[in-house]
Chain A
Amino acid sequence: MTAVQAVALVVVALAGTAVALTRDPARQALVAGIFGFSLAILFLAFQAPDVALSQIVVGAVALPAMIIYAYRKVQRREEVERGQR
């Protein structure tokens, strides 16, 4: 195992833990994006560039964006419901 691979593994472990420890969903989406990007670096370090590219676009772009949009939608509904009371 090369130094790059070892560092990538450690970074992934740290980023994954950070995602689990973040409580606010909006922040969590951003941290999950960073975690997705660190996974992509890991795949690249282990010589899987194709998977790394998919991981960047899905893990670092699409997934956090979807979480934020869905979260915003739920929040909006809560605002409306609170306004009704």
Chain B
Amino acid sequence: MTRRFRMVVFGLGAAGLAGLLAWGFAGLPSFGSFDGAYGQLLAHLTVPERHATSAVSVSTFDFRGVDTLGEEFILFTAAIGVLVLLRGQRAGETVAAEPIRQREPAAESKTLRSVGTALAAPVLVLGIYVVAHGHLTPGGGFQGGVILMTAFLLVYLAGTHLDLRRATPLGAMEAAEGTGAAGFALIGLGGIVLAGAFLENFIGFGTVGNLVSGGVIPLLNISVGLEVMGAVLVIVGELLDQRFLVRRGDR
């Protein structure tokens, strides 16, 4: 296949795709026009019925019910998959007594070190804020969990620790991941036992707009935040750890 022929085939395909895309986009409803019944219903029920102002949180953590459990376990399962894969590989490897590269601190530049140190605490507070206000404003457990993870990663980047295990106790992170996932499932099951449906609220709703309001939704956000932070840190820690492994028999 000559280059010229390939370009002709590509050109025909690209032109066809562009034509179909333009045709498809021309028929799209204009931005903001929406006539689904459920969207309107959810937007109107959120505040009076659930005392939470973030319609997205209320939809995922209450009205959608058991579907969210599946979503919740996607990351959990992915983290376990990565761990099984990487730790399985490690069984055939030994921890390098003398790595090829000299062990150097992660932060070689002073700028990275000072910026990382300065950012770690504010980012931690931001993460807690985003988790805690999930039922009031955009954000919530997932977003806040990743932000919390970044705070620990900044400590690692800024520090002289080579090992994420020392910057972040990975055992505690595994526990956080498991506790978060289990907490979510248990609160959901509590809904079945005490209120009749999975994830249905079974505690007081509180006053609209308060930090403590929205029933179980803040608790669910905290569970998700813990789980996400733990899962991502466990994956990152395992990948970083592998940097310093040499396969057995290499020396």
Contacts and interface: CB of A to CB of B under 8 A. Distances in A.
Interface string A1-32: 10001000000000000000000000000000
Contact of A1 (B31, B235, B239): B31
Interface residues of A, number: 24
A57 B236 contact: no
A57 B54 CA distance: 19
> Chain B interface mostly helix, strand, loop or mixed?
helix
Nearest to B32: A47
Interface of A: 1, 5, 46, 49-50, 52-54, 56-58, 61-62, 65-66, 69-70, 72-73, 76, 79-80, 83-84
Interface string B227-241: 000001001100110
B139 A61 contact: no
Given A70-B239, A76-B243, A79-B100, A50 B153 contact: no
Nearest to B127: A57
A24 to B, nearest CB: 19
Given A50-B138, A53-B130, A73 B239 contact: yes
Contacts of A65: 153, 236
A61 B250 contact: no
B143 A53 contact: yes
Contacts of A66: 235-236, 239
Given A46-B31, A50-B139, A83-B100, A57 B147 contact: yes
B239 A69 contact: yes
Nearest to B240: A69
Nearest to A75: B243
Contact of A69 (B100, B139, B142, B236): B236
26 contacts: A1-B31, A46-B31, A49-B138, A50-B138, A50-B139, A53-B130, A53-B138, A53-B143, A54-B143, A57-B143, A57-B147, A57-B150, A58-B146, A61-B146, A62-B146, A62-B149, A65-B153, A65-B236, A72-B243, A73-B242, A76-B242, A76-B243, A79-B100, A80-B250, A83-B250, A84-B250
